[in-house]
Amino acid sequence: MPYQEEFLLRAYRSMRTIREFEERCIAEFMGGNVPGFVHASNGQEAIAVAACIDLSDSDIIGSTHRGHGHCIAKGCDIGGMMKEIMGRSTGLCKGKGGSMHIADIDKGMLGANAIVGGGPPLVNGAALASKTLGTKNVALSFNGDGSANQGTAMEAMNMAVVLQLPHVFIYENNGYAEGTAANYGLGCDSLTDRNAGFGMPAECVDGNDFFATYEAIKVATKRARDGGGPTSIEAKCVRFDGHFIGDPQLYRGKDEVKNARKNQDCLKIFRDRVIKEGWLKTAAMDAIDKEIKVEIEQAVADGLAAPHPDPVTDLMSDVYCSY
Amino acid sequence: MPYQEEFLLRAYRSMRTIREFEERCIAEFMGGNVPGFVHASNGQEAIAVAACIDLSDSDIIGSTHRGHGHCIAKGCDIGGMMKEIMGRSTGLCKGKGGSMHIADIDKGMLGANAIVGGGPPLVNGAALASKTLGTKNVALSFNGDGSANQGTAMEAMNMAVVLQLPHVFIYENNGYAEGTAANYGLGCDSLTDRNAGFGMPAECVDGNDFFATYEAIKVATKRARDGGGPTSIEAKCVRFDGHFIGDPQLYRGKDEVKNARKNQDCLKIFRDRVIKEGWLKTAAMDAIDKEIKVEIEQAVADGLAAPHPDPVTDLMSDVYCSY
Amino acid sequence: MTNNSNNAQVAGKTSIKTYRDAINDAIREEMRRDPTVIVLGEEVSGGAGCDGEDDAYGGVFGVTKGLMPEFGRERVIDTPISEAAIIGAAAGAANNGLRPIAELMFFDFIGVSFDQIFNQAAKFRYMFGGKSKTPMVIRGTVGGGWRAGAQHSSMLHSIVTHIAGLKVVMPSNAYDAKGLMVQAIRDDDPVIFLEHKVMYDNECEVPDEQYAIPFGEAAFPRQGKDVTIVAISNMVTHAIAAADILAEEGISCDVIDPRTVSPMDDEAILESVEVTGRLVVVDEGNPRCGLASDIAGIVAEKGFHSLRAPIRTVTAPHTPVPFAPELEDAYLPNVDKVLAAVREVLGA
Amino acid sequence: MTNNSNNAQVAGKTSIKTYRDAINDAIREEMRRDPTVIVLGEEVSGGAGCDGEDDAYGGVFGVTKGLMPEFGRERVIDTPISEAAIIGAAAGAANNGLRPIAELMFFDFIGVSFDQIFNQAAKFRYMFGGKSKTPMVIRGTVGGGWRAGAQHSSMLHSIVTHIAGLKVVMPSNAYDAKGLMVQAIRDDDPVIFLEHKVMYDNECEVPDEQYAIPFGEAAFPRQGKDVTIVAISNMVTHAIAAADILAEEGISCDVIDPRTVSPMDDEAILESVEVTGRLVVVDEGNPRCGLASDIAGIVAEKGFHSLRAPIRTVTAPHTPVPFAPELEDAYLPNVDKVLAAVREVLGA
Ligand SMILES: Cc1ncc(C[n+]2csc(CCOP(=O)(O)OP(=O)(O)O)c2C)c(N)n1
Ligand SMILES: Cc1ncc(C[n+]2csc(CCOP(=O)(O)OP(=O)(O)O)c2C)c(N)n1
Ligand SMILES: [Mg+2]
Ligand SMILES: [Mg+2]
């Protein structure tokens, strides 16, 4: 068995937690308990978990507007996340950030980013700190097919090569940037080839396949840690929900989502594989499913009960360390 | 003879005019007659002329901080240019622009640009206007090896492909961005390969060879005009002078410039070729050299005699068309 | 005319229209009239390259809905997520015969496109000695109230107002939105057109035909003689509400809506302060180097002798926009804050 | 202490130093003291990948000269021309244990890096509920006088002052430049450090040892009771010259140099105006939503009852910076314009 049981269970638990968290987020948003814009990552769980499962808290990730999955995969507390997304003062960012600006520096989660392409230059910085201080930490940025076209992302790739930074660029190609096809926004035939042109190893994987994604990122992470510089990994995947929660998704083909949920569900594919290979038992995974339902239920209940920020003191604090 | 004599003489005249203009600019700058920063393009004449010689006034070019050669090749009046560079009110931009912001809209010269990477998005716009209005004009942007790393340039390339704009991206790779080697700033091995990754035809030519450069750009321009979208042409070349006039160039290798002036002078190479092939006579070119000396002499004299702008009326005009 | 509409009167048929539809109207009619007008930006139509419906969004706020079906993808252009390239394409096209309307989905995205706005489009005319014109509009949504957090809720109008070469338009109601958009499209200079996202559904009576409202002419939604209240964009809503409350107490407020903040109708403000002697400025932006202190500074310089009390500015605090509803509500200026400021300048 | 130096006194050995060298000193000593301080930007060393000399530039204005030979390319990092990536790398590194000093060769280049400055670095602390710190310095040259034209001569300090989360430092002399740079590096928040390019060769007496000048404390290069002149960066030079001329006529000016414009020492200004009753603000930036009107606005709000005359602002006009020397000279505030303004507020 090429993977330890503990590892497989951990991977499954993490993916299932994301799925459950996102589905519940959607429900709570619809129910009016979550303010603002929320971008759910259900469908893309395998990539987040494949990327983060081997990382330590001192490794760094930089995320996107669609960041819940990355947070959970990196070990952020789901209670703290739910409170943050609900805008409560005990949330991960005291309710000041919200879904699009969630961060947990202690866990090496440098932040979601509501600016498309905002993350990769910052993750270069985390990687530069690792290189300068000799800590051997790696830094991973999550990017979308759409954000690939933002100049900041492209500059960051070139600079990562020039400075040989330990930065793994992960591109989650879910086929859409809002309501625009990835194939339209990207003028090239292959994002992976385009990224390879920047002078870094670049690989394209099936992001619905946890194992394929995991193996590719593992190689890239090791290379980065060993001083071999950046890598680009494009993971093709499916966005199960709208661009934002509430998006009517008129631009999607008939039955596209239905079929994807049936045939391209990374969780189902994982389950089928580990069962087929005899690596895990159905019962073990079902048990995890149940546990997680309870955990998420608790997170929501705690979130709804959590205190709201104080409009006077909380509004004015945390702008500066000192002024 | 694959080229008409008239064409060859025109090409030579244009290149020689640039050379003479730049050398005189350097002298006048050193003599205190030219204020500000000036970036001379001597050494790179073949590219400017190869790119512009077939263009009409309604075709558009967008230039860089190193823009004199592009202006001259596109047909701007050297008298008006010299006055502009000297800051006189009868200059091409009334003395308000200067060397780094020289423009001549009537000649399809959209402007030098003091912001590295500032040009290509704008040239996309010119190309878009051509496409939308169906004018069949082409638009060319001049870029450097250094500006290739600016996100704006990369965004513009992708957008040009997506919208299939008639835009030829010319990269003058002169080996340096200020005092940084092109090979350092570009993480990739080949800028041409990187640009090809964006989904456009990309070719690398010897920019010291007028003919090679001309032929490549001709194909690209035709493709653009015929609705075939953008092309990238990288032309390797040599910057004969400093980054700016007055640059001590400590970063350059011993004898590098001397050798380049000897062996990689595009004007010499042109002369040798046309004589070897029997396409032109030495005397014809020598005659042009003499004429141009006189013209430039006149441009300088006119420039020095030209009126200065009026500190009251000229300062406050031309901010808006109406306010 | 309803509450928020302007002082001007236009003959002809009118309809009750939302702010969103008024802008859509203006653009559509100008596109019909003038084939050089184009629209470009992310999701301005939506559905590009997709299997489902075209014009799926018509702008994420639906402002450009219906334009692509009428004018086609050649004139209503969905772009990659490349704001610098969007603005640059608009500016370059504007120099070459088109009148582009570029959309920044959220004006917060000026960060990735600012050079093309302030160093390029804004400066062409001056740098080139008056020889070029750049007739383009940059539309962007501004402002808080949507719980959209620090990177999607900013105002930022003060930053573009600082830049010579840009005109800055901030309609506070549907009537003005239409007339100012028509002017923006017909104007030969780069115009920043800022739409406050909480106002998209606000309605008022709007003439069916096209009309242009000149830039630099304030509107006077309430007239009075005790205190001048200058407010902009959605803050006009609060200023009017405050004025109506104060009117019942016998305090008469002169509410001025500059409508365009560059150029700005300084004279209207100075003339009003000449009468009232008291000034409150309400602006949702941050306070430092913001529009509120800009107006205060102008009056302290040119209208000093009229002033009978300290000027009071009502702005957001010097913080980013917080996410939590309680915090965002506390962050934003509102009717109560305007009332308090007016009472202060009167009581002082 | 020479003309331009500050009110504070420091014991120990001093030398006559240029503004350039004072900044270099501050950075070098901090880099010696603290291994987490790094420098990055275009040409901060120069010669990367070339056959000739290393440290060929040491910054295009020579400010970082000598740092690379001492600290190596690992800590003095030449970068590609990618300002967004430069600022992003600094911000991300600052969140992860380094204290980067990023250079924007000309501060005019904020256009291509502005998002990383204002939406990222400036907002991290607030958005993340106080859980991160971003100790970074962005150095940039500002200002006119070099005939560098519209895209290399801007001030732009008002734009960053508008942004909550940024501190903005604008030293007017070598003494302050050193002390403020030391503070900037040691500060735990993002600091914008703006160096006026015409001052690099200005000299004054500077202590050899390191000292930090706290932010938000104005300097008082001239004291007086007839009129308050607030000036910033290179405008302090003109304000002092004007004050010295007026002193001979028996007019005593209180010249205030805020040194840092965010945070700004409002109190020093208000206290001075309490005495003088008259205020002139001199700022090289553009007028609309600029620092001059910001200060005027603050005084019109908080110091109104002290004022005995209209406030006068002396700024650049509402135009880009022109190239031709005559035009640029007319564009820039100068001693004559300050004198005229002072006479106006006194005569009025
Ligand atoms: C600079 C910027 N431009 C535009 C947006 C609006 N926007 C938010 S997400 C998004 C699409 C991103 O697509 P992609 O990178 O593929 O990520 P996905 O949503 O598919 O996860 C857009 C256009 C933004 N937030 N920031
Ligand atoms: C945005 C921006 N960054 C930096 C500069 C400073 N600068 C001017 S030219 C230049 C080098 C450009 O190199 P390249 O593109 O190769 O053009 P070349 O000078 O070789 O013609 C730099 C860094 C600038 N003007 N604009
Ligand atoms: Mg996507
Ligand atoms: Mg070069």
DSSP state of D278: -
pLDDT band with cut points at 50, 70 and 90 for residue D1: very low
Q: Is D103 helix (H, G, I), strand (E, B) or coil?
A: strand
Contact C128 B111 (CB under 8 A): yes
Active site residues of D: 152
A29 to chain C, closest Cα gap in Å:
13
Would you say the CB of residue A144 lies under 6 angstroms from ligand 1? Answer: yes
Residue D7 has pLDDT above 80, yes or no: no
Report how far residue B228's alpha carbon sits from residue B242's, in angstroms, rounded to the nearest whole number.
Answer: 38
List chains touching B (3+ CB pairs under 8 A): A, C, D
Q: Which residue has the tokens 């409170």?
A: A83
- Domains assigned to chain D: 2-207 (3.40.50.970), 219-345 (3.40.50.920)
Give B61's strand partners.
Answer: B109, B140
Q: Which two tokens stand for residue C338?
A: 């305007």
- Residue among C296, C307, C318 whose CB faces D297 most closely: C296
- For the entire predicted model, the pTM comes to 0.98
Q: Regarding beta strands C191-196 and C137-142, do their DSSP bridges make them parallel or antiparallel, or are they unpaired?
A: parallel
For C180-206, how does the pLDDT look when each residue is reduced to its tens digit (9 = 90+)?
A: 999 999 999 999 999 999 999 999 999
Contact A196 B196 (CB under 8 A): no
Residue B99 has pLDDT above 70, yes or no: yes
The pLDDT value given to residue B35? 97
Cis peptide bond prior to C263, omega within 30° of 0 = yes
Q: Is B26 helix (H, G, I), strand (E, B) or coil?
A: helix
pLDDT band with cut points at 50, 70 and 90 for residue B167: very high
For C114-157, how does the pLDDT look when each residue is reduced to its tens digit (9 = 90+)?
A: 999 999 999 999 999 999 999 999 999 999 999 999 999 999 99
Instruction: Provide mean pLDDT across the span B29-41.
Output: 97
Residue D5 has pLDDT above 70, yes or no: no
The strand ranges marked E within chain C are: 14-18, 37-41, 76-78, 99-104, 137-142, 167-169, 191-196, 203-207, 219-222, 227-231, 253-257, 260-262, 279-282, 312-314
The residue whose CA is least distant from atom 25 of ligand 2 is B115
Cis peptide bond prior to D214, omega within 30° of 0 = no
The pLDDT value given to residue D8? 59
Contact D162 C289 (CB under 8 A): yes
Q: Regarding beta strands D167-169 and D260-262, do their DSSP bridges make them parallel or antiparallel, or are they unpaired?
A: antiparallel
- Residue among C111, C158, C300 whose CB faces D311 most closely: C300
Would you say the CB of residue A66 lies under 6 angstroms from ligand 1? Answer: yes
Would you say the CB of residue B240 lies under 6 angstroms from ligand 2? Answer: no
Would you say the CB of residue B66 lies under 6 angstroms from ligand 2? Answer: yes
Q: Which atom of ligand 2 is nearest to the CA of B118?
A: 1
User: Is C115 within 8 Å of chain B by CB?
Assistant: yes
Residue B4 has pLDDT above 50, yes or no: yes
Contact B118 C91 (CB under 8 A): no
Residue C101 has pLDDT above 80, yes or no: yes
Q: Please, are residues C344 and C312 in contact by the beta-carbon 8 Å criterion?
A: yes
The amino acid at residue D13 is: K
Q: Which atom of ligand 2 is nearest to the CA of D111?
A: 1
Report how far residue D93's alpha carbon sits from residue B318's, in angstroms, rounded to the nearest whole number.
Answer: 44
For D72-82, how does the pLDDT look when each residue is reduced to its tens digit (9 = 90+)?
A: 999 999 999 99
Contacts of C307 in chain D (CB under 8 A): 300, 304
Contact A155 B150 (CB under 8 A): yes
Q: What percent of chain D has pLDDT over 90?
A: 96
The pLDDT value given to residue B268? 98
ipTM score here?
0.98
Q: What percent of chain B has pLDDT over 70?
A: 100
- Residue among B152, B159, B194 whose CB faces A197 most closely: B194
Q: Please, are residues A321 and D132 in contact by the beta-carbon 8 Å criterion?
A: no
D117 to chain B, closest Cα gap in Å:
16
User: Is A95 within 8 Å of chain D by CB?
Assistant: yes
Q: Residue D201 class from Cβ within 10 Å (0-12 exposed, 13-18 middle, 19+ buried)?
A: exposed
Give C281's strand partners.
Answer: C230, C313
The pLDDT value given to residue B1? 83
pLDDT band with cut points at 50, 70 and 90 for residue B133: very high
The pLDDT value given to residue D11? 72
- Domains assigned to chain B: 5-304 (3.40.50.970)
The pLDDT value given to residue C8? 59
Report how far residue D85's alpha carbon sits from residue D117's, in angstroms, rounded to the nearest whole number.
Answer: 11
Q: Find all residues with CB under 8 Å of D250, minimum gap 6, and list them.
A: none
Segments in chain A below pLDDT 50: none
- Residue among C162, C307, C320 whose CB faces D286 most closely: C162
User: Is A322 within 8 Å of chain D by CB?
Assistant: yes
Residue B184's H or E segment, with its range, is helix B182-185
Instruction: Provide mean pLDDT across the span D172-186.
Output: 98
Report how far residue C168's alpha carbon sits from residue D196's, in angstroms, rounded to the nearest whole number.
Answer: 29
For C234-288, how does the pLDDT look when each residue is reduced to its tens digit (9 = 90+)?
A: 999 999 999 999 999 999 999 999 999 999 999 999 999 999 999 999 999 999 9
Report how far residue A136's alpha carbon sits from residue C46's, in angstroms, rounded to the nearest whole number.
Answer: 43
Alpha helices by DSSP H, C134-254: 157-162, 174-186, 235-248
Would you say the CB of residue A176 lies under 6 angstroms from ligand 1? Answer: yes
Q: Which atom of ligand 2 is nearest to the CA of B44?
A: 21
Q: Please, are residues D204 and D1 in contact by the beta-carbon 8 Å criterion?
A: yes
Report how far residue B136's alpha carbon sits from residue B131's, in angstroms, rounded to the nearest whole number.
Answer: 7
> Helix, strand, coil proportions of chain C in percent (round to 5)?
40, 20, 45
The pLDDT value given to residue C237? 98
User: Is A185 within 8 Å of chain C by CB?
Assistant: yes
pLDDT band with cut points at 50, 70 and 90 for residue D2: very low
Mean pLDDT (chain C) is 96
Instruction: Provide mean pLDDT across the span B180-196.
Output: 98
Would you say the CB of residue C108 lies under 6 angstroms from ligand 1? Answer: no
The pLDDT value given to residue C7? 56
Alpha helices by DSSP H, D73-227: 83-94, 114, 124-127, 157-162, 174-186
Q: Indicate the top mutation candidate among D44, D81, D151 to test ligand 2's pocket, ranked by most ligand atoms within 8 A of CB.
A: D81
User: Is A100 within 8 Å of chain C by CB?
Assistant: yes
Active-site annotation holder among C152, C157, C196, C238: C152
Closest CA to C169 of C147, C203, C145, C136: C136
C173, HSE (Cβ side, Cα atoms, 13 Å): 27
Per-residue three-class SS string for chain A: CCCCHHHHHHHHHHHHHHHHHHHHHHHHHHCCCCCCCCCCCCCCHHHHHHHHCCCCCCCEEECCCCCHHHHHHCCCCHHHHHHHHHCCCCCCCCCCCCHHHCCEHHHCECCCCCCCCCHHHHHHHHHHHHHHHCCCCCEEEEEECCHHHCHHHHHHHHHHHHCCCCEEEEEEECCEECCEEHHHHCCCCCHHHHHHCCCCCEEEEECCCHHHHHHHHHHHHHHHHCCCCCEEEEEECCCCCCCCCCCCCCCCCCCHHHHHHHHCCHHHHHHHHHHHCCCCCHHHHHHHHHHHHHHHHHHHHHHHHCCCCCCCHHHHCCCCCCC
| C residues 181-210 closer than 8 Å to D (CB) | none
